[in-house]
């Protein structure tokens, strides 16, 4: 029996994530072409992301039956074991014999035939306990933090810092949210055609729901929206709702000079262009040529014209001879607000990187502020929930430039309210410090932070 297409795709995604440092979402997007059946695409996605989310718990349960930790086994063997156990423990509709047999076939296809008996034996053992609560297998003397981190499959250091900052109840909610399948949110590139576009998606077999936050957003399930005619024609784009909300905070007006500093992949740029209309200037910059290429392709798909796309390193003094009315700095960050969507991040990130990112982000913000004109506005945003990358960056930049102030929450609430599905919820997106925040646990979006700054 050969490996099913779904498991072959899932294995290759996981292999590239581990061996090449790739992102699962990118590899899946490449692999799930039009020839892949929707049912295979769905199962491949479920297994690949499920293994990445639950890797720590899976490894703990597997290590109980191994002489060597699963992390020290050859990569094809460890991946086959994780894939098999994920199906046994989390996918009740998959027969145990199929999960075990195909995992054995995975190691054979990877030319690790000698490991086939090991995979078979270990998965048969774990199959007998797959319906028992994982907690009963934890050592009774295990520290509380370690228990939470193992059962919720997160690094210990991450759980420790979230409990210290948020308290255990809120930290648990965040851990739970990070292990849920995220909503696949989309943006309407032609809001005036909303009803026709959504009706067409439903005819194509998608289940469409209204957005959680924004009027021009919706959630899609049942199949990938990227395989629809609406996507190919540029009528919709896949973009988290919190990400869609951030550009609205700039308050772009027709005729403005607008700079999108770290623009790729371009979703926020498109929203800025819509607000700008046919008058004004919009520059979209990024330092990576391959990301700029992908952004140009995205703009071509959605029919976006008039955006000046340039390659530059925003760590250096910006090369412009004019000041801007509006600047968006969606800074490179740890991505801890996107762990449901990008679960591999939790295993790659190290505490020391937060300090390194803080230094990078502060340099980018200070450079961007130099090109902000009088009375002009800048939005600093990240998809991180860590203070080092958010509040601390903004506070440090403001200390060094007293002519720049953070706009009050009251003004931003009124500005954002018309775009929200339920305008009465606008206040909950801002705290007393005036910063915009979304939470995976509360808003069912990615975790975003944004501060709106204005020069006097």
Question: Considering only CA atoms, which of 99, 97, 103 is closest in space to residue 116?
Answer: 103
Active-site residue (options: 186, 262, 333, 383): 383
DSSP conformation class of 430: B
Would you call 262 a catalytic residue per the annotation?
no
Spatial distance between the Cα atoms of 206 and 222, rounded to a whole number of angstroms: 5
Spatial distance between the Cα atoms of 157 and 143, rounded to a whole number of angstroms: 13
Spatial distance between the Cα atoms of 121 and 368, rounded to a whole number of angstroms: 58
Spatial distance between the Cα atoms of 187 and 319, rounded to a whole number of angstroms: 32
User: Which of helix, strand or coil describes residue 395?
Assistant: helix
| 420, β-bridge pairs | 214
Q: Are 384 and 333 in contact (CB under 8 A)?
A: yes
Residues found in the chain: 456
Residue 421 C-beta-side C-alpha neighbours within 13 Å: 13
Q: Mention every residue, 6+ apart, whose C-beta is less than 8 A from residue 258.
A: 250, 252, 272, 276, 280, 281, 282, 283, 324, 325, 326, 327, 328
Q: Are 448 and 436 in contact (CB under 8 A)?
A: yes
Residue 160 C-beta-side C-alpha neighbours within 13 Å: 6
Residues that are catalytic: 383
């Amino acid at each position: 029996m050969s490996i099913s297409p779904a498991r072959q795709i899932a294995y290759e995604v996981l292999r590239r994530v581990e061996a090449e440092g790739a992102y699962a979402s990118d590899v899946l997007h490449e692999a799930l072409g039009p020839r892949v059946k929707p049912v295979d695409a769905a199962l491949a996605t479920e297994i690949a992301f499920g293994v990445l989310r639950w890797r720590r718990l899976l490894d703990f349960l597997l290590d109980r039956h191994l002489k060597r930790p699963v992390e020290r086994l050859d990569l094809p063997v460890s991946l086959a074991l994780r894939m098999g156990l994920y199906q046994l423990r989390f996918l009740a509709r998959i027969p145990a014999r199929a999960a075990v047999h195909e995992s054995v076939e995975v190691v054979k296809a990877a030319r690790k035939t000698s490991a086939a008996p090991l995979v078979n034996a270990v998965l048969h053992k774990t199959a007998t306990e797959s319906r028992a609560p994982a907690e009963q297998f934890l050592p009774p003397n295990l520290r509380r933090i370690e228990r939470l981190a193992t059962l919720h499959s997160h690094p210990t250091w991450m759980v420790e810092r979230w409990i210290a900052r948020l308290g255990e109840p809120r930290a648990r909610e965040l851990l739970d949210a990070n292990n849920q399948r995220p909503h696949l949110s989309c943006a309407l590139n032609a809001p005036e055609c909303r009803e026709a576009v959504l009706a067409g998606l439903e005819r194509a077999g998608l289940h469409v729901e209204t957005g959680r936050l924004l009027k021009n957003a919706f959630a899609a399930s049942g199949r990938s929206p990227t395989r629809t005619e609406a996507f190919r024609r540029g009528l919709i784009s896949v973009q988290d709702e919190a990400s869609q909300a951030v550009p609205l905070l700039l308050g772009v007006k027709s005729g403005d000079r607008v700079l999108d500093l770290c623009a790729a992949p371009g979703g926020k740029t498109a929203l800025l262009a819509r607000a700008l209309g046919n008058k004004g200037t919009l520059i979209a910059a990024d330092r990576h040529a391959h990301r700029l290429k992908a952004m140009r392709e995205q703009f071509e798909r959605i029919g976006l014209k008039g955006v000046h796309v340039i390659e530059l390193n925003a760590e250096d003094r910006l090369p412009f001879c004019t000041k801007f009315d509006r600047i968006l700095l969606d800074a490179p960050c740890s991505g801890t607000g996107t762990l449901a969507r990008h679960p591999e991040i939790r295993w790659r990130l190290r505490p020391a990187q937060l300090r390194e990112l803080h230094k990078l982000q502060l340099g980018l913000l200070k450079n961007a502020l130099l090109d902000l004109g009088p009375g002009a506005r800048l939005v600093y945003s990240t998809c991180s929930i860590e203070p080092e990358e958010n509040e601390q960056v903004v506070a440090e930049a403001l200390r060094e430039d007293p002519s720049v102030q953070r706009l009050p929450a009251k003004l931003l609430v009124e500005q954002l309210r018309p775009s929200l599905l339920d305008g009465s919820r606008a206040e909950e997106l801002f705290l007393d410090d005036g910063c915009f925040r979304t939470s995976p646990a509360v808003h069912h979006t990615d975790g975003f932070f944004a501060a709106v700054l204005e020069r006097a």
